[in-house]
Amino acid sequence: MRHMKSTKKLGRSPSHRSALIASLVCNFIEERRITTTLAKAKMARSVAEKMVTLGKNGTLSARRQAIAVLRQKERVSTLFAEIVPQFSERTSGYTRIVKKGRRKSDGSEMAILEWVGVMALNKKKKSEAPAASEPKTETDAETKEEKK
C-alpha cells in the first residue's frame, strides 16, 4: 500500500523522473507558462516553488542548491535575476495551475502552469507585420497612389 508516500512515480525510474521535472521547471522559468499533464504540473509546481524560496534567500549556497536540482546555470540565473524579485512581498503561492480539460488522444487531464503576478516577457515576440494599408516599399507606395 502507498500510505504516507508523497512522490508520484509517473511511470519512470527515479533518475528519469528527476530529469523530467528539472526540464519542466527550466522550461517553465524560460517560457513563464507551460502546458502539461496535471500530474506533471503538480510535481513541477512543488519544485518551482522551492526554487523561488531558495532564490529569495539569495546566497551562493542557495544558488548552488538550485543548480544541483535544475542542472542549468542559465535558467537559475534567470530565476534569481528576473522572477524572484517580483515575489519579494509574497511569502508563498508563487505558481498557479489552471485545468485545461482532457487531451483528445489519450484522455489525460491537461493543465497550464503559470507564475502568479509575473510580468510576461515576450522574448520570442514575432516582429509585427506591416499593416495592409501601409505600403511595404516605395514602389508599392507609388503604384498605390497611381491607382487612386
C-alpha cell at position 66: 538550485
The whole-number pLDDT of residue 140 equals 62
Q: Is the pLDDT of residue 125 over 50?
A: no
Q: Is residue 139 part of a domain?
A: no
Domain count, the chain: 1
> 127 in a domain, yes or no?
no
Q: Find the CATH number of the domain harbouring 73.
A: 3.90.1030.10
In a domain, 5, yes or no: no
The answer to whether residue 13 scores a pLDDT higher than 90 is yes
The answer to whether residue 135 sits within a structural domain is no
Look at residue 134 and tell me if it is in a domain.
no
In the predicted model, what is the mean pLDDT of residues 59-66? Answer: 98
- Say if 89 falls within a structural domain: yes
Parent domain of 88: 14-121
In the predicted model, is pLDDT for residue 139 greater than 70?
Answer: no
When comparing pLDDT for 141 and 5, which is higher?
5
Q: What is the per-residue pLDDT for 118?
A: 83
Those residues whose C-beta lies under 8 Å from the C-beta of residue 87, and which sit 6 or more positions away, are 52, 56, 94, 117
